[in-house]
């Protein structure tokens, strides 16, 4: 039996995709591997049946720094991110490793499944809610859509859809009004549990998008969670999009992404010394402070994509009584935030 420690020190989204590759390695090679991991996000691996404690440097233990070089061909061949680490491990294992599920591999404990949602504990009501991410990391500002556009979406669905705002306190996540504000208040495990109970997700291309696909739906493990992704033209849709998501992209609409995603990093240089400020990684077409590809996506389009799930019967709106019950827990109105 081979003993492998898989090492990866990238973002949470990347590590989540590695969980899928580890699952598929064991399905392709049953009882041939003993595996452990070294990543910055151990909570993504909790309850994972494929993890066994291994010591780096011990006899027979091989440490493998993981990569996904397939991304360099993402504009030209029809592969999804979920193939990236699988292709890499195929070369190391000498056996074809194919994705066996179109999602990452997150495992909840029975205690987590039984626990009420944080929203139910807060409000005393078991209410349907959507998670919303209205910002992102500073290293990839090109992924941002303006928070005022997210606010327009929230306002248009006020008293019909409850939004819960999340986001890492170290990143850019402006406060929205009319939502339950959990920014900076969730560990990864708490975010997994919040996602487990959620009806849907609205976000850019980010960790939460991958989590929306990976985390089972409460009481309906085979159901696909609705997710509306404001994607623009940075990534080729076949590399990022999940089947049940509304992936709003503009690839092909502009010269800069005519043949695929531009893969640039920033809208404007930040002057922070990061190599992502280099001209080759900065957007070449900025409109009103947004990448042109993101500016083309309107709040009305995002709203329409959200409402598709309700019109199709996948989701249900709040009742009048539910909307009334949640109002005391929402953040201040837009007028209050502006000091009017």
Segment 242-247 mean pLDDT: 97
DSSP state of 186: -
Residues 8 and 49 in one domain: yes
Residues 76 and 137 in one domain: no
* Residue 143, φ and ψ in degrees, nearest 5: -80, -10
Residues paired with 52 in a beta bridge? none
Mean pLDDT value across the chain: 95
Domain containing residue 64: 2-93
Q: Which helix (H) or strand (E) holds 201?
A: strand 200-204
Residues 132 and 27 in one domain: no
Q: What is the pLDDT of residue 54?
A: 97
Residues 15 and 55 in one domain: yes
Residues 197 and 82 in one domain: no
Q: Is 31 exposed, middle or buried (0-12, 13-18, 19+ CB in 10 A)?
A: exposed
CA distances from 251 to 246, 258, 323 (A): 15, 6, 38
Q: Where is average pLDDT lowest: 84-88, 106-110, 118-122, 225-229?
A: 118-122
- Whether residue 336 is predicted with pLDDT greater than 60 in this model: the reply is no
Residues of the chain above pLDDT 70, percent: 97
On whether residue 98 sits in a domain, the answer given is no
How far is C-alpha 253 from the chain's CA centre? 24
On whether residue 135 sits in a domain, the answer given is yes
- Whether residue 340 is predicted with pLDDT greater than 50 in this model: the reply is no
On whether residue 84 sits in a domain, the answer given is yes
Residues 18 and 66 in one domain: yes
- Whether residue 339 is predicted with pLDDT greater than 90 in this model: the reply is no
Among 141, 19, 144, 4, CA closest to 81: 19
Residues 69 and 210 in one domain: no
The residue written with tokens 């929230």 in the block is 154
Residues 120 and 70 in one domain: no
Residues 144 and 264 in one domain: yes
Of 26, 58, 93, the residue that ends a domain is 93
Of 93, 127, 145, the residue that ends a domain is 93
pLDDT tens-digit series, residues 96-150: 999 999 999 999 999 999 999 999 999 888 899 999 999 999 999 999 999 999 9
Among 128, 101, 117, 134, CA closest to 23: 101
Residues of the chain above pLDDT 90, percent: 94
Residues 240 and 292 in one domain: yes
Q: What is the pLDDT of residue 331?
A: 84
Count structural domains, the chain: 2
On whether residue 304 sits in a domain, the answer given is yes
- The pairing of beta strand 130-132 with beta strand 61-65: unpaired
How far is residue 331's CA from residue 122's CA, in Å, rounded to a whole number?
14
The CATH number of the domain holding residue 320 is: 3.40.50.2000
Q: Write down the pTM of the prediction.
A: 0.95
Of 58, 93, 128, the residue that ends a domain is 93
Asked if 126 contacts 155 with a C-beta cutoff of 8 angstroms, the reply is: no
Among 108, 109, 101, 107, CA closest to 20: 101
Segment 18-24 mean pLDDT: 98
Q: Which two tokens stand for residue 242?
A: 């999940």
Residues 156 and 275 in one domain: yes
Angle at which helix 12-28 crosses helix 207-214, to 10 degrees, equals 40
pLDDT tens-digit series, residues 290-320: 999 999 999 999 999 999 999 999 999 999 9
Residues 35 and 122 in one domain: no
Instruction: Give the number of C-alpha atoms closer than 13 A to the C-alpha of residue 59, restricted to the C-beta side.
Output: 0
On whether residue 103 sits in a domain, the answer given is no
Q: What is the pLDDT of residue 202?
A: 98
């Amino acid at each position: 039996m081979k003993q492998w420690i898989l090492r990866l020190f990238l973002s949470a989204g990347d590590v989540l995709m590695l969980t899928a590759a580890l699952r598929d390695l064991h399905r392709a090679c049953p009882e041939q591997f003993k595996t452990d991991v070294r990543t910055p996000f151990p909570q993504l691996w909790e309850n994972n049946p494929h993890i066994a404690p291994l010591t780096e440097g011990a006899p027979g233990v091989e440490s493998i720094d993981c990569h996904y070089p397939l991304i360099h061909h993402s504009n030209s061949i029809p592969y999804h991110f979920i193939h990236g680490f699988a292709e890499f491990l195929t070369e190391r294992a000498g056996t074809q490793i194919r994705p066996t599920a179109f999602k990452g591999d997150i495992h909840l404990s029975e205690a987590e499944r039984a626990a009420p949602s944080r929203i139910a504990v807060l409000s005393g009501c078991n209410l349907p809610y959507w998670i919303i991410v209205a910002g992102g990391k500073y290293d990839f500002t090109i992924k941002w859509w303006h928070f005022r556009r997210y606010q327009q979406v929230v306002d248009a669905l006020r008293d019909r859809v409850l939004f819960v705002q999340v986001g890492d306190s170290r990143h850019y996540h402006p406060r929205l009004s009319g939502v339950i504000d959990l920014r900076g208040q969730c560990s990864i495990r708490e975010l997994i549990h919040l996602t487990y109970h959620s009806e849907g997700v609205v976000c850019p291309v980010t960790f939460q998008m991958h989590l929306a696909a990976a985390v089972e739906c409460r009481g309906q493990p085979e159901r696909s969670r609705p997710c509306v992704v404001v994607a623009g033209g940075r990534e080729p849709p076949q590399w990022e999009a999940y089947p049940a998501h509304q992936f709003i992209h503009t690839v092909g609409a502009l010269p800069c992404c005519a043949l695929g995603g531009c893969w640039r990093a920033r809208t404007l240089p930040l002057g922070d010394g990061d190599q992502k400020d280099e001209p080759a990684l900065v957007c070449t077409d900025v409109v009103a402070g947004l990448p042109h590809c993101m500016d083309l996506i309107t709040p009305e389009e995002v709203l329409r994509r959200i409402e598709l799930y309700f019109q199709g019967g996948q989701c249900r709106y709040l009742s009048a009584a539910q909307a009334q019950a949640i109002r005391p827990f929402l953040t201040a109105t837009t007028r209050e935030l502006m000091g009017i």
